[in-house]
Structure 1
Amino acid sequence: MARRTGLREQKKQATRKALREAALRLALERGPDNVRVDDIAEAAGVSPRTYNNYFASREQAIVAAVTAERESRVAEAVAARPPSVRLADAVIDAIVEQYTDPGEEHAAALLMITTRPALREAFVHAPASMELPLAAAIASRLATRRRAGETADTAGASAAAGAPAADGALAAAGASARDGGAAPVQDGAREGGGAGESEGRAGGRGHDADAVRGADADRNGDAVRGADADRDGDAARDDTARVLAAAVAAAVRVAIDRWVGRPGAASASGLVVPSGSLPDLLRAALAPLVPALDAAER
């Protein structure tokens, strides 16, 4: 069953890739206004109905050819940063790196996209697709940071508890040495106390059994409470990661919108062309999120 699911997902990904690549190729060859959904579906070897299962418009498919891999690369870049790197730095550096290096093969496509209003609109909203993979990458980093903190706390507590225990053992050994060992027991005391000791041992075993059962119950209760706390903590971490990822995607959308559509960017032909430094716009849009990203790690 798992194998069938995997193969089905691979087939869907292959179809999606064929559609977006066909859309971009036809748009570059004919111009985006001269490409129909039927043309894209035919070039990819599927029906128009199948096309509509993957993309809502031709613009979305054309833009996806440039942006589809970028969102997953952002998440991969965040996950690849060493745990010692601050989360805010990992996210911002990954965004700037992936959004400002489209690659030579996409240079002509990016120019076409940013100079056509309908394509530009789809391009501005493309960052929304990064939310889920980025949330997973952020959640993973937060979990790693939490485990590292718990390990450090446990090590510190063990060291602190070990020092008094060692001091107590040394003190007991010193007292025993000073007393010269245990005092000898008189024969009469041994004989007279034999029956009492037997009864005492029987009662002691009963008390010991009760103590063991009580200790087991306490441990089981602690384990259940600990598991519940872990689940609650995991859910809270995942929710935090999703909120942060959505905020990052929104900030990137704002930066791109300013980059491709800021006032005064119209050319002599009436087309709107990108202006300003995209890396600077991205960093400025993401800067207000730094306190929240830092707080999530604490």
Structure 2
Amino acid sequence: MTPDDPTRLGRRDRKKRQTRAALAAAALRLVAERGLDQVTVEEISEAADVSSRTFFNYFPSKDDALVGDTDADRDTVLRALAAVPAEQPALEALRRAFAEVVTEVQGDAELSLLRMRVVTQYPVLLARLISGNAVTERALVEATAVRTGLPPEHGYPALVVAVAGAALRTALIRWATGGGAGSLTALLDEAFTAVAAGLPDPRTP
């Protein structure tokens, strides 16, 4: 097996993902137990059974480990959006793109719920997450403008991305409020179905 053998590279990549996940999980659990200011990088590294040097190979800071990899999440949703056939309406294309992210979130429900709880508890972490989400939203607006043949400054791409983002957040909040019970994908579909129908008033016969 040569150094460039895909099997070896695949194992190496899986090992890196496992180490990154272990560090994030250790950071979240320690902060949930002790508080943000009472946990150090050294303690996180020890809990994940790696060195502090290894920690910094994966995360620039403790806060980055807690918030998660917003860059990777952005890449995931943009790749998923690009894979949706061009003839699909913009709102449906965004729903399909978000569905891939939602699948990953529900795939590790315990850690996802813990991250949501920890991040919303500390303003400094929430601000970092919001900043990352704003970058993602701008990227989605640009991608949606390309899909629709509109200039990025046109109102439609920004509006449809904002509405789709609201549907995603609504589904995530409902799922988290229910302790992760039920299907997050179903909640996402429900939110997008309501938006696509024009949000009819439920009191209307």
State whether TM-score is above 0.5.
yes
CA-based RMSD: 4.1
From 118, 127, 133, the counterpart of 2:139: 133
Displacement of 1:282 after TM fit? 0.9
Amino acid at match of 1:65: G
From 91, 112, 118, the counterpart of 1:110: 112
**Structure 2 residues not aligned, in runs of 5+:** 1-19, 43-51, 199-205
1:70–1:99 contact (8 Å) kept in structure 2: no
So what's the TM-score if we normalise by structure 1? 0.42
Q: Secondary structure at the match of 2:180?
A: coil
**Structure 1 residues not aligned, in runs of 5+:** 1-18, 147-233, 266-272, 293-298
From 164, 168, 178, the counterpart of 1:248: 164
Q: Secondary structure at the match of 1:101?
A: helix
Cα displacement string for residues 58-99 of structure 1 (whole angstroms, at most 9, x for unaligned residues): xx751x326552233112211222212232321111212221
CA distance in 1, matches of 2:172, 2:115: 12
Higher relative helix content: 1
CA distance in 1, matches of 2:100, 2:111: 19
1:71 corresponds to 2:74: yes
Cα displacement string for residues 231-254 of structure 1 (whole angstroms, at most 9, x for unaligned residues): xxx2543x3212221221122111
Q: Which structure has more RCO (C-alpha within 8 Å, separation ≥ 6)?
A: 1
1:32 corresponds to 2:32: yes
1:83 corresponds to 2:86: yes
CA distance in 1, matches of 2:114, 2:90: 34
Amino acid at match of 1:32: A
Displacement of 1:33 after TM fit? 2.9
Q: 1:236 to 1:31 in 2, by over 3 A?
A: closer
Amino acid at match of 1:139: A
Task: Work out the number of aligned pairs and report it.
Answer: 161
Q: Which residue of 1 aligns with 2:189?
A: 283
So what's the TM-score if we normalise by structure 2? 0.58
Q: Which residue of 1 aligns with 2:6?
A: none
Displacement of 1:121 after TM fit? 6.1
